Amino acid sequence: MKKSKWISLLLAAACSASAVSCSKDTSSGDTMRDISTAQVVKEMGVGWNLGNTLEACGDWISSTSVESYETAWGNPVTTKEIIDGIAGAGFKSVRIPVAWSNMMAEDYTIDASLIARVKEVTGYVLDNDMYAIINIHWDQGWISKADENHDGTLEKYKAVWKQVSEEFSGYSDKLIFESLNEEGVYDNTWNRYTNAGDKEKAYGLLNELNQTFVDLVRDSGGNNGKRHLLIAGYATDVDLTCDPAFKMPEDPQNRCAVSVHYYTPSTFTLLTADADWGKARKSWGSEKELSELEGYMDKLKTTFVDKGVPVIIGEFGATTTNKEPESVHRYISAVAQAAYDRGMCPMLWDNGEHYDRSTCQFRDQELLQGLQTVMNSQRD
């Protein structure tokens, strides 16, 4: 999630006592199971985002220390205990957003200390027998410049994924690569609000990046030939990703899922005060609003899930600032349940507001209990 745009979105997950530990050999070549991506998504259950952490970035940060970037947006250094707590609360997957440009040379070589740190945090997740997702996150928005600098953007994109793919090639199938975050949207080429411009060209830029991602990972050796991959939808928006102009990349392994984000209605989930683009809403949960949610989830199911393309809701949530707590509980539980019931994996966005990373305690027990109810429910 882009900090400058979504700073008000603070969502959470939890921790409790101890977590299950599972030792694994991340360098072994026999850790890729004969399992479909749909089954993987089912096993991922309800997930959690390590938000505002390894994706923290900004020109005002001047340091050669990974820790300086990791803590720049207000969160502490991630520890094993923090991730153990997430596992102990019942979460089965963790998304780890990363800004690789933070420590990168002019030739796009990623600093070894940043790669090592991402490996360390990924290890915390995998040691708990959870799924881990690593991506290219907002990272100062350079991916959104593909319509202005096509060749340069593609060169950097390939350089990043070539290094990441090689460094993580020995990891098991509990590690998933995600092509990018929300930045696959090109309003200068096609305005999604006015429909002005060249829509096919705008979608084509994202489709090209996603296909490049799949091709590069598949050719990178090790376990990557069969690794499960997460493909970013157009702006990760439900309607825009369900549009026929969005194309899932061709994959000889047929091991790709699609990622969308869900913050609808944004006047409730994002706005803490009235803005020029909308009036902040304090409550949520009317029959009309519940019907809207069901409609969006049905659309994802019919467009993708029913056609054999698994779906991960890579981010969802709602700010608690100036909101009715009951509405926040209702919204988060309802979105998680609606996605989970349709075979999708919902992953809660959390930048530290609800999950206290210093104490590994979930600040709002009712919110946690609502999510645990979803985790413990049955689904096909």
Model pLDDT, residue 55: 98
Alpha helices in the chain (DSSP H): 3-6, 37-43, 66-70, 80-88, 112-126, 150-167, 199-218, 238-241, 266-269, 287-303, 325-341, 365-375
Residue (of 336, 354, 345, 356) closest to 11 by Cα position: 354
Confidence (pTM): 0.92
pLDDT tier at 380, thresholds 50, 70, 90: low
Summarised one tens digit per residue, pLDDT across range 180-195 is: 999 999 999 999 999 9
Q: Which two tokens stand for residue 243?
A: 């549009």
Q: Which two tokens stand for residue 90?
A: 């019942």
The phi-psi region of residue 140 (left if phi > 0; otherwise alpha if psi is between -120 and 50; otherwise beta) is left
Summarised one tens digit per residue, pLDDT across range 127-159 is: 999 999 999 999 999 999 999 999 999 999 999
Q: What percent of the chain has pLDDT over 70?
A: 92
pLDDT tier at 20, thresholds 50, 70, 90: very low
Model pLDDT, residue 25: 40
Distance CA 109, CA 134 (A): 18
Catalytic residue list: 182, 315
In Å, how far are 6, 140, 186, 313, 349 from 38, measured between CA atoms? 30, 32, 30, 14, 22
